[in-house]
Structure formats: structure tokens, C-alpha cells
Amino acid sequence: MNVLILSAGTRNKIVQYFKKTVGPEGRVIATDMSEIAPALYEADMYYKVPRVTDDGYIDVILDICKKEHIQGVLSLIDPELSLLAKYKDEFESIGVKVIGSSFELCERAFNKMKMYEWLIEHGYRCAKSYDDKEKFYLDIEAGKISYPVFVKPVCGSASIAIYKAYDKETVELLFSKNDNLIIQELLDGQEIGADVYIDMISGEVVSVFTKKKIIMRAGETDKSVSFKDNKLFDLIIDFCKESGWLGQIDIDIFDVDGEYYISEVNPRFGGGYPHAYECGCDHMKMIIYNLNGKENETAIGLYEDGVFMMKYNEIMVKK
């Protein structure tokens, strides 16, 4: 079984886990636009490729798939998820399975306002969100929301360009200097990460791992502790099935006074996934099962709670 990991960047652990799973009978190929992306050198073979936004990019990836006899392809960055989904048929025509959700779902996940509207429409608790600052000011005056709030790009990732606004003047300043912004309620509660795998054959949620986030860095979980709550598991299962996600997803959730609020979804491996893997939630194995045409058995919550993950810096030297 040969797997292609796109935009590998610094996700060394993801490449290592896939290599361990495919074993000596398979190969893991990685790509990145930079030759100094350290995760490249964990793979059996790597390719330097153009930017995701460059013309002809997808043709380059399709050529790599043919050359390396790839059976499954996935990306580790948000902007590439919709692109893979868009060209799903082209990949399937050469025998390659795109590991991920549909184009519509990837687009919704990347657009915070679309995600908010879907969550509200389907009755899920979530942070109040506004792409119209005048509507936001009306709700401020009506006491439906209060400062501080977050101001962030409607389509953004990795916690880039997120600002906390404590007053109208700051909101006005941010909107005057940037386009396509969203104002979002600040949820005061425990932030939670959920690593979820939805079987790509049966469509059933087969694995859920939840962790309380202790420290964040550059939008990723730096320290966390595992925990279990059947109420949260049920919410995640219902949400995933109603949405139609497939494959690996990462969900950000807040516990506010005992109620769970869904914040964001990343339809890929999140930066905190190694915590799940090291606790026994091997989603790489589940992916390989699906690529082999086999359905996975349900393994929700099959891990220990109270297990801490602590990231630390490492280096790679390459001549």
C-alpha cells in the first residue's frame, strides 16, 4: 500500500506513523513546496512541488501518483483539502483514493461564517458570529453579546491574523484595514480537541479521541490531557453523521458551564493528533483498512483518560 502525504511541512510524526502502519510492503511518499520541510525526510521518497495555488499543481500531483503507484492521497493543510476533493474523480480514474470529505464540506469547514450558519440551522451550540459589523453593533446594544470579541478572517487557519477587540474603535480599525472579516463571540470555557475517524466505506464514526487543551502555540495544541465523556461522544457522533464527514477530521469544541459548543472543524489530521495515536487511536491503520476495501470496527473511547501530551522541540540536520 503506497500513500502520498501532501504539504508535509513539520508533521514528522504523521509521516512516521504512516510508515509504521504500511510496513515494509508499502511506501510513504511526501511532498512540500520547500526542500527544508523536515517531514519530507521521514518518507521513503519525497518531491518538491509548486505552490498549491500555482497553475498545473494538480497535474504534478497526479503525475507523482502515477509514477509512485499511489493508492491513497491526503493533505495536511487546509487550503489543499478543497482542491483534492474537487479533483476526486481524476484521482479515482488512476486508482487513487482521496482520503477526506467532499468539496462542499471542505469549503464549509474553511469558511467560518458558512460553518456558523450550518451549526445554527441544525441546532448546535456555537459562538455567535457576524460578517456584518452593523448587525453586531445592534446585538451589542441589545445585550445579546458583549466585548471582548475575536475578529478574524472568514477563511483562515493556524490562528493567523486573529485579534481580540475590547471596543468598537478596535473593530472599526480592523475592518478598515482588512477585508472578509468575521466577528466571533469569545467563549469562556475549557477548549477541547477531538480527533475523529469516520469510516470511508460505511460512513460510520468508528473512533473518537478527546483531549482538554492546556497550552496552545501557533494554533496547535502544545500540551493536553485525555478525557472521556459519553455526552460529548454522542454529540460528536451525531454531528459527524448529520454533516456527512468522511475520513480523518479534527474538531475544536468548548465546554462552557457544562454545555458543549462546536467551534471549528479541520477535515484533516490536526496538530494534536499524535496524542490520540500514542494513546492507541491508530487512525492510520483505519485508513489503510479502508484503502484495502475493508470496513473498520467501532473503537470509540478505547483509550485511557488522564494521559498527558507534551510537545517539545527537535531538530533535523540535512546536508
CATH 3.30.470.20 fits 188-310, yes or no: yes
* Residue range 34-56, pLDDT digits in tens: 999 999 999 999 999 999 999 99
Q: Are 222 and 209 in contact (CB under 8 A)?
A: no
The model's pLDDT over 66-84, given as tens digits with 9 standing for 90+, comes to 999 999 999 999 989 999 9
Tell the CATH topology of 128-185. Dna Ligase; domain 1 (3.30.1490)
123-169 residue pLDDT tens? 999 999 999 999 999 999 999 999 999 999 988 765 567 899 999 99
pLDDT tens for each residue of 203-236? 999 999 999 999 877 667 889 999 999 999 999 9
- d(CA 39, CA 41) in angstroms, rounded, equals 5
Domain ranges in the chain are 2-99, 128-185, 188-310
Share of the chain above pLDDT 70, in %: 98
Cβ–Cβ < 8 Å for 295, 202: yes
Q: Check if the beta carbon of residue 259 is closer than 8 Å to that of residue 231.
A: no
**Options 3.40.50.11290, 3.90.940.20, 1.10.3720.10, 3.40.50.20; CATH of 2-99:** 3.40.50.20
Q: What is the 3-class SS of 173-211, one letter each residue? A: HHHHHCCCEEEEECCCCEEEEEEEEECCCCCCEEEEEEE
